[in-house]
């Protein structure tokens, strides 16, 4: 399979993996937030009862978890495509 064909074939796979990464990272963030001793739900940026520090820490933690999960899922997907097609999709 050519490099262009592998990239095109990976597009729908990448979209599905991205959606899955979003779901996984959301669930993981909720567990980490709960284990850190905070409420069951992370603060919403417009929640008047929450302080700036808590809101920003929650947002930074959620972003870091999402980025790490997405990178791991994307890398695993690209590796699977290479095993299947013999071509790296990047």
Express each pLDDT in 51-88 by its tens digit.
Answer: 999 999 999 999 999 999 999 998 998 898 888 888 88
**In the chain, where the domains are located:** 3-85
The residue that leads in pLDDT, 36 or 3, is 36
pLDDT at 9 over 80: no
DSSP string, the chain: --HHHHHHHHHHHHHHHHHHHHHHHHHHHHHHHHHTT--SSPPPTT-TTS-HHHHHHHHHHHHHHHHHHHHHHHHHHHHHHHHHHSS---
pTM given for the model: 0.81
């Amino acid at each position: 399979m050519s490099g262009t064909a592998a990239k095109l074939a990976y597009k729908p796979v990448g979209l599905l993996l991205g959606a899955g990464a979003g779901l996984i990272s959301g669930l993981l963030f909720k567990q980490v937030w709960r284990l850190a001793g905070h409420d069951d739900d992370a603060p919403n940026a417009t929640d008047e009862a929450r302080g700036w520090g808590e809101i920003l820490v929650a947002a930074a933690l959620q972003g870091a978890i999402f980025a790490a999960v997405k990178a791991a899922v994307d890398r695993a997907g690209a590796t699977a495509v290479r095993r299947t097609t013999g071509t790296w999709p990047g």
